Amino acid sequence: MTYSYSSNFKPFIEGLVKQKNAVGFTYERAEYYLSKFDHFCRDQFPDETILSRHLVMQWAERKQTEGIGARKIRLAYIRELAKYMIGVGIDDAYVIPEKLGGKTTRRVPHFFTKEELQTFFSASDRLKLHCNTMARHLVLPVIFRVIYCCGLRSCEARLLRVEDVNLHAGKLTIRTSKGPKDRIVMFADDVLQLCRTYHERVSCILPDRIYFFPTNVAGFYRSRSLMGVFTKIWKQAGLDTYSGSKPHVQDLRHNFALVNLNNWVKKGENFNTKLPYLSRFMGHASLKSTDYYLHFVPEFFPVFKEKTRETFDDLIPEVDYEKT
């Protein structure tokens, strides 16, 4: 457990985290918000033992600089806590209504140009040895390439253990990233060779490491840390000006999907047979999540637009962005 808790709700927060961990969820971001809620309860409601409507609505007040999306996430984990408490017999725990968080629109990914990717990866290759994270200069160039080339979620790459990466067979095992299903991801030959060389070099520094992309012998990169170094490298590469959305680590995964879709069009591949494979490869729970990418392809990839101009409306189903 990453955080320690001290309010009267400590046993319930710890119970929720343990329950989520037991079924395969890392619950890393949730722990962050639950710790904030725990501190709030300890400081503002030190004697409160009931998750009352008054307490919860005080927590739910929107902060002055807080966006709708951030507030929605913050409230979602307290809603989960209330449901957990009810599940263990605390019937008077107040559950925040779903509609309270407000309606959000799904973020449009940043679409990297070839030049941006080349510049970014070149900058990551120039990282120097860091005193606090000895293998940082080796880890970061490879983890970003693996996310991009294998279409992984940030958490999937960050939490990969050494035993999950089979460098002989050329595959990695993603364990219960979103939901309870494991999946196998095969390496392309060049990525496999990159990872073999990387593994040899990192093993000389951290021979007994637990994670494939470590911070130390037993540590892994947190979400905020990885995003922080991504942004730092992006700026060091001189990529301060860009079009579209602000670049994010997760956009490397999104571009994996879009590049594959565009390549299928160039080759005249059948989408009906190909899309389920992409969906499974990326670990989507359903095809609806994969369909989401189709709406961006014609705007940002001219080849797709040219070849599907007449049939595009029939090809792409309507997608409810709030549910994907």
How many residues can be counted in the chain?
Answer: 324
If you average pLDDT over residues 201-230, what whole number do you get?
94
Report whether pLDDT(81) > 90.
yes
**Could you tell me which residues come within 8 angstroms of residue 300 by beta carbon, excluding any fewer than 6 positions away?**
111, 258
pLDDT at 291 over 80: no
Note the pLDDT tens digit of each residue in 134-182. 899 999 999 999 999 999 999 899 999 999 999 999 999 998 666 557 8
| Residue-level pLDDT at 179 | 53
Q: Which residues contact 232 (CB under 8 A, 6 or more apart)?
A: none
**More confident site: 195 or 181:** 195
Regarding pTM above 0.75, the answer is no
Higher pLDDT, 92 or 286: 92
CA dist 148 and 205 (Å) reads 25
Q: Helical H runs in the chain?
A: 10-22, 28-44, 53-60, 68-87, 114-125, 136-150, 154-158, 189-205, 223-236, 250-267, 271-281, 287-294, 297-300, 302-307, 312-315
Mean pLDDT of all residues in the chain? 85
pLDDT class for 314, splitting at 50, 70, 90?
A: very low
Domain definitions of the chain by residue range: 10-101
Whole-number Å distance between alpha carbons of 151 and 289: 14
Task: Identify the bridge partners of residue 174 per DSSP, sorted by sequence position.
Answer: 183
Higher pLDDT, 42 or 179: 42
